Structure 1
Amino acid sequence: MELLTQILRSITDRHVSLIAAGVAFYSFFAIFPGMAAIIAIWGLFSDPVVMREYLSQTHSLLPDMVFSVLSTQLDALLGARPHTLGWASLLSLAVALYSVHNGVSALISAVNAIQGHKPRGGVRGLIASIAMTAFLIVIAVCALGTVVVLPIVMQLVPLGQFAAPFLHVAPWVILLAVVLVSLGLFYRWGSNPTGRRHSWLSPGSVLATALWVASSVGFSIYLANFGAYNRIYGSIGAIVALLMWFWISAYIVLLGATLNAELWRRKDQ
């Protein structure tokens, strides 16, 4: 109970809700360039149309309005992608990566602010944020590659009647693994503590992953039964729902960072 009280006090004192809104804003401007960057990188090796299939497999987790926005923009990006790698393509990729980097930097700053750490400055901060951006894109590309390769491997490994259920559950497992690893990355290397660091698998990352899944499903149910975003906001209702989902996700990530910070503080006492 004392731990819960301290976490709630930290959430209020450090303005987690307000900081999460800032992270959601930057995330909104980073998500679509991030999709464009993954399409460009994946297109160097294979057909990025497979991203549409993977996104559709996560539909049951994402709110309908959020899925609609992401799916529509993904189709637009796939239709507009160049089929040759020229200077224009490289410039577009650089701009996309810069936008993603800004979103990653915003989350790094937020995690440090919540945990009471001074963020890295100058060249060290820039290198850390660029490295984290690159690592996240590599994780996304590897996850996409796993989804593509998995059915081929399943044809070589006879699982009989278990093959279909396994392939149905696999995208969910991959998605949860991506979320857990990404959060572990931010909590361990995004923060700038003066002493030792959190482990990759921390209580905060586990809690945030579980709460993110539960909140995404809950927000989806709310939008389907009680939400009136389209009636209130008209044509931008789906965009507002997407921003709200980003805010909920950012809040949960910062909640996990708050838990880690409080547990770490208790260890040092």
Structure 2
Amino acid sequence: MTTLSDASAGVAEVSVRARIRSAVWRVVRGTSVSAFRYRVTGLAAEAAFFTLLSLPPLVLGLIGTLGHFRSMLGDDTVSDIRTWVIEKAQTVLTEQSVDTVVRPLLDDVLRGGRVEIVSLSFLVSLWAGSRALNVYVDTITIAYGLSGVRGVIRTRLRAFFLYIAGLGVGLVVIPLLVAGPTLVLRWLPEGARVLHVLYWPVLIVVSIVFLASLYYLSVPVRTAWWRGLPGGAVALAIWALGSLILRLYLDGSASGVSVYGSLGAAIAVLAWLYVTALAVLIGAALNAEIDKLWPGEYTARARAEVAEARARAAKKQLRAAERRVEAATSDEPEEPAAPEEDVEPQEAREPLEARQPLEAREPLEARESEREQARPESRSA
């Protein structure tokens, strides 16, 4: 028999589930709205383009740096790197371009010459790479509703230093991601079984930590680091799913004739970079929406200050517009007065009799009779 406590526990469980579903729906809906509002798809394309633009000069600069350490690395290692770069270049460029441009340039750089090319390559890579990272930092700031808190110069400097730090992390993480467990097992054969079990979990955790750190450092105010973990996990899941779909598509289209010709490999790399950028920005939008629904202390205060600043700016613009309207109105010429008609005075329109005093207004016949009576008297006299 069901007791009252069991019934109340069931009602509480249903209520908790309903609140969880409502919270999840609000987060998903808010994230979708933010992604479309802030043009996440277009910004991801911009970030992917600048990332692709930074890769060739970065590789060239790294190879030039390796050329100065030939004695330390050994001729065989440098030769293997040269062969690998030429093979990758042949997938993008024509054979003639590789023979006339890539091979001579690599030989000059690896011999330690052409220092100006190495320096210029690093400069171009730093500019393009930091420009790509600036897209992430700026978009994350806007998604949190904190646009204008950090100035343009500070945002650009933050993106520049984050790119340099990302290069250091990428030099460690990307080879592990590309080479797979086989290379690591070759380095550590004694821990083969443990490494085989822990390889992918450790790599997933490191990737989520890296993304959460990117979100944490991109927000212009202080936040808790763990608040970036949900977006990092979702971004990694979207990236893995998108990369799998892209790989299946490329495997299916590789058997036929490519419409891109020799640019097929470059387009594939650009598409993969686009999937990566899109996943990172969607994760940022998710973190921002969670922070808006359950705000932190500093982000809520900063958003309130931004709203007040925008309200003051709107009032200032409104007053300026009112003053411009008043100035334009006062400068308009006044309408000329209508010309006055020549109006005859009221006295001129009245007859002479009406303008005479009342006692002077006697009948004309009475005055004529008095004159007639006065005439005989004057004659008799």
Normalising by structure 1, report the TM-score: 0.71
Separation in 2, partners of 1:154, 1:118: 48
Provide closer, same or farther for how the CA distance between residues 38 and 177 of structure 1 changes in structure 2, counting only shifts above 3 A. Answer: farther
Please name the residue that 2:146 is paired with.
Answer: 117
Contact 1:11-1:258 within 8 A present in 2 as well: yes
Separation in 2, partners of 1:21, 1:114: 17
- Alignment match of 1:101 (pick from 119, 122, 130): 130
Q: CA deviation at 1:87?
A: 3.7
- Alignment match of 1:214 (pick from 232, 237, 241): 241
Secondary structure class of the residue paired with 2:260: helix
RMSD of Structure 2 on Structure 1 (CA) = 4.2
Please name the residue that 1:236 is paired with.
Answer: 263
Flag as ranges the 4+ runs of structure 1 deviating above 6 A.
Answer: 48-55, 144-149
Provide closer, same or farther for how the CA distance between residues 16 and 36 of structure 1 changes in structure 2, counting only shifts above 3 A. Answer: same
Provide closer, same or farther for how the CA distance between residues 13 and 138 of structure 1 changes in structure 2, counting only shifts above 3 A. Answer: same
Is residue 30 from structure 1 mapped to residue 64 from structure 2 by the alignment?
A: no
- Alignment match of 2:193 (pick from 149, 157, 162): 162
One-letter identity of the residue aligned with 1:231: S
- Alignment match of 1:8 (pick from 12, 17, 32): 32
Please name the residue that 1:185 is paired with.
Answer: 213
Provide closer, same or farther for how the CA distance between residues 107 and 35 of structure 1 changes in structure 2, counting only shifts above 3 A. Answer: farther
One-letter identity of the residue aligned with 2:274: W
Q: CA deviation at 1:48?
A: 6.5
Separation in 2, partners of 1:50, 1:41: 15
Secondary structure class of the residue paired with 1:132: helix
Q: Which runs of 5 or more residues in structure 1 are unaligned?
A: 56-64
One-letter identity of the residue aligned with 2:163: T
Separation in 1, partners of 2:204, 2:64: 24
Secondary structure class of the residue paired with 1:84: coil
Please name the residue that 2:167 is paired with.
Answer: 137
Contact 1:40-1:93 within 8 A present in 2 as well: no
- Alignment match of 1:252 (pick from 279, 284, 289): 279
Separation in 1, partners of 2:155, 2:80: 34
- Alignment match of 1:84 (pick from 93, 105, 112): 112
Q: Which has the higher contact order (CA 8 A, sep 6+)?
A: 1
Normalising by structure 2, report the TM-score: 0.53
Q: CA deviation at 1:188?
A: 1.0
Contact 2:141-2:218 within 8 A present in 1 as well: yes
Secondary structure class of the residue paired with 2:110: coil
Provide closer, same or farther for how the CA distance between residues 3 and 51 of structure 1 changes in structure 2, counting only shifts above 3 A. Answer: farther
Separation in 1, partners of 2:111, 2:201: 32
One-letter identity of the residue aligned with 1:28: L
Q: Which has the larger radius of gyration?
A: 2
Q: CA deviation at 1:139?
A: 0.7
1:124-154 residue CA offsets vs partner (Å, 9 max, x unmatched): 3343122101101111233478789955752
Secondary structure class of the residue paired with 1:202: helix
Separation in 2, partners of 1:174, 1:34: 27
Provide closer, same or farther for how the CA distance between residues 87 and 239 of structure 1 changes in structure 2, counting only shifts above 3 A. Answer: closer
Provide closer, same or farther for how the CA distance between residues 230 and 19 of structure 1 changes in structure 2, counting only shifts above 3 A. Answer: farther
| Aligned residues with identical type, % of pairs | 21
Provide closer, same or farther for how the CA distance between residues 83 and 219 of structure 1 changes in structure 2, counting only shifts above 3 A. Answer: same
